[in-house]
Amino acid sequence: MTEEGKLVERVTFSRGFDVCIMAIDGTWRRDCLLNAISDSDASLTVEGSIQGLNLKEFFLLLSSTGLAYRRCELVRVNGTEMDICFIRGRPGKKRAGGDADRVGA
């Protein structure tokens, strides 16, 4: 994969890394294994059913306390495997800290 002409490195974990996915409003949460991750996307193995869950937009929780997270959307599902991409800041909207705080700036 390339992003603006640069090669995007993907880190693959041999045994997976314990993470969770959680609804934006906190109504559901599922344990997962993080199989691979890059700056723009990730590959997960979900524990439990995802049937009926709204996966249009959700959080990938990278720490047990929820202090490290990324906003995501579903790209592809194949059984318990799912590919997700990270949602960047929306163009035109500014955060309190200004443009320097925006991911990728």
Instruction: Classify the C-alpha dihedral 24-41-94-100 as positive or negative.
Output: positive
Q: Which residue has the tokens 């320097």?
A: 100
Tokens describing residue 78: 């194949």
- Residue 53 to residue 23: CA distance in whole angstroms: 8
| Tens digit of each residue's pLDDT (9 = 90 or more) over 15-73 | 999 999 999 999 999 999 999 999 999 999 999 888 988 899 999 999 988 789 999 99
The pTM of the full predicted model, rounded to 2 decimals, is 0.74
* Domains and their CATH numbers in the chain: 2-86 (2.40.10.220)
Q: Which residue has the higher pLDDT, 77 or 104?
A: 77
Neighbours of 52 (CB within 10 A): 7
- Residue 15 to residue 101: CA distance in whole angstroms: 33
Q: How many residues does the chain have?
A: 105
| Tens digit of each residue's pLDDT (9 = 90 or more) over 79-90 | 999 999 999 876
* C-beta separation of 60 from 72 below 8 A: yes
